[in-house]
Structure 1
Amino acid sequence: MQKIRFKLLIPVFTLLLTITGCSFPGVYKINIQQGNIITQDMLDQLKPGMNKRQVHFVLGNPLVDNVFDETHENYAYTYQYAGGKTKQQLITVYFEDNKYTHFTGELLDDNPAY
């Protein structure tokens, strides 16, 4: 009789452990930001004719150097809300004869990182 109870308890305990494992509330997810944070104030400081060193002083160095084409640099940024949707931003800075001419791209509308 006791052997039967013991054999019956093993599947019951296994089932209980499985159920409690499945009911775990989840993993805490954080906001993830990657890349160059560029603000409107930074872009307003750029003036045509600045050399690359001056542009890098204002915006910082791009994450990836463009070794094949020195006429532009890309400042990429992504922001993911706690495992949810990812927002992307790409600012491209253009140079002619190593002097800043203009930039293209738009900043993210809302970004809690800045």
Structure 2
Amino acid sequence: MVSMKAVVKIVLLAAALSLSACSSWVYRIDIPQGNFLEQKDVDKLRIAMTKEQVVFVLGNPVAANPFDHDTWHYFYALRGGRGNNFEKRLVVEFKDDRLVNISGDFDKHPDFDKPLDI
């Protein structure tokens, strides 16, 4: 016959094993931060656009340099609950309140250097 101590040990061992397996079942939320930009939005940018036009297309930047009002930073990060992280950056540069360049993780549209006025 099985002793009571053996039954208790088996039950405790089964409980410990089942609780350790639950950690992989815990739902972890994804945490998005910043401006979500798509290539199709960046493709709308053209040289010589005003700051207001850029805000209309992309929204307000995540960070503006307080010492350089002509450089805007757009950043998007997604911290996945399962460890799959995603980041995209875009730096928008102005001169005399007109768009002169973009750089970062997005491609420049072939027509970027053609102003909208033409």
> TM-score when scaled to structure 2?
0.68
Higher strand share: 2
**Aligned-pair distance for 1:82?**
4.0
**Aligned-pair distance for 1:37?**
1.5
Greater shift, 9-18 or 62-71, is seen at 9-18
Greater shift, 18-27 or 46-55, is seen at 18-27
**1: CA distance between counterparts of 2:21 and 2:90?**
44
Greater shift, 98-107 or 75-84, is seen at 75-84
Residue in 2 aligned with 1:98? Answer: 97
**2: CA distance between counterparts of 1:60 and 1:91?**
12
Stretches of structure 2 lacking an aligned partner (at least 5 in a row): 108-118
Q: What is the aligned-residue RMSD (CA, Å)?
A: 2.6
Offset from partner CA, 1:37-56 (integer Å, 9 cap, x none): 21222122212222211111
Stretches of structure 1 lacking an aligned partner (at least 5 in a row): 109-114
**1:65 aligned counterpart, secondary structure:** strand
Offset from partner CA, 1:38-88 (integer Å, 9 cap, x none): 122212221222221111110000122321211210111123444223222
After superposition, residues 1-114 of structure 1 pair within 5 angstroms as 5=4, 8=5, 13-24=11-22, 25-107=24-106
Greater shift, 35-44 or 19-28, is seen at 19-28
Q: What is the number of equivalent residue pairs in this alignment?
A: 103
> TM-score when scaled to structure 1?
0.70
**Aligned-pair distance for 1:16?**
4.2
